[in-house]
A = this chain, B = another copy of it.
Amino acid sequence: MFIIGELLNCTRKRVGAAAQNRDAEYIKEISHNQVNAGANVLDVNGGIPGQEVECLSWLVNVVQEALEIPLCLDSADVVALKSALPLCKQRPMINSITDELARYQAVLPLLKEYHAKVIALCMGAAGPPTGVEDRVATACRLVDGLTGEGIALDDIYVDLCVLPASTGSEHGKALLEAIGQVRGRYPGVHISAGVSNVSYGLPERKLLNEVFLLLLMARGLDAAIVDPCDRQLMLNIKAAEALLGRDEYCVEYIRAYREGKLGLPAA
């Protein structure tokens, strides 16, 4: 499972404040916490209105002073991406390219120039998809378009749009079905999700996020933007990898147990 740590996001109050105050220590601390907890990549979102360009670049530099980890630049602002990409010391990831024409045409050259991995978010000009067919059709357009431009399937992380369960009882089921279809059609592509969207407006969000991630994994999800510091979530992933045959002979699971890493968190 490819874990994209979600905590470095300026739309989170505490992180936004730290970015505005240029509180590098706090940013480094959350970065370390996420990497220690098992993140493979850190998502970096500098989305403070009017300051995103400077903020994203500042964050990228601060994180890289603290540790060596690939970054996923999370912005819809192409100027911010263009400023931050040259600063990345490891191969970057871009979150995200979409099926909106202007954004697609602006981001595609950046993928090529920086040999970046990319989250292909199934969002069109008409907004987020809500059914199975629109999701799958958008995914196919994005994957076929990107691979046609020479982007490797292995560098594409399709995101089929997580919508809040509170806004529609059918959303979760539609997403699961769409994931299954895309997984069947492109065995070599990655499928990711911004899991915590699902619990927006509902109580006990951690429980919902933890459970939803497993439901998605059962259909073929192999990457996720999540809070890696949610210990139960990371334990669930280890167990799911063993149960889904992605951890041959449960070797990693048993090793984690022997190293005392499977202890459950206190409530």
Contact = CB atoms under 8 A, between A and B. Distances in A.
Chain A contact-residue range equals 35 or more
Nearest to A240: B211
A192 B218 CA distance: 16
A245 B172 contact: yes
Interface of A: 165-166, 169-173, 176, 180, 198, 202-204, 207-208, 210-212, 214-219, 235-236, 239-240, 242-245, 247-250, 253-254, 257, 262-267
A165 B218 contact: no
21 contacts: A165-B242, A165-B243, A166-B250, A169-B249, A170-B245, A172-B243, A172-B245, A173-B244, A180-B180, A204-B239, A207-B239, A211-B214, A211-B239, A212-B239, A214-B215, A215-B218, A215-B243, A216-B218, A218-B219, A264-B267, A266-B266
A98 B228 CA distance: 44
A88 B235 CA distance: 42
Contacts of A257: 203-204
Contacts of A212: 239, 243
Given A202-B250, A219-B218, A264-B267, A172 B211 contact: no
Which secondary structure dominates chain A's binding surface? Answer: helix
Contacts of A219: 218-219
Contacts of A262: 203-204, 207
Contacts of A242: 165, 202, 208
A218 B179 CA distance: 11
Contacts of A170: 245
Given A208-B242, A211-B214, 20 more contacts: A166-B249, A166-B250, A169-B249, A169-B250, A172-B244, A172-B245, A176-B218, A198-B243, A203-B254, A203-B257, A207-B264, A208-B239, A208-B243, A210-B236, A211-B243, A212-B239, A216-B218, A218-B218, A265-B267, A266-B267
Contacts of A263: 267
A165 B207 contact: no
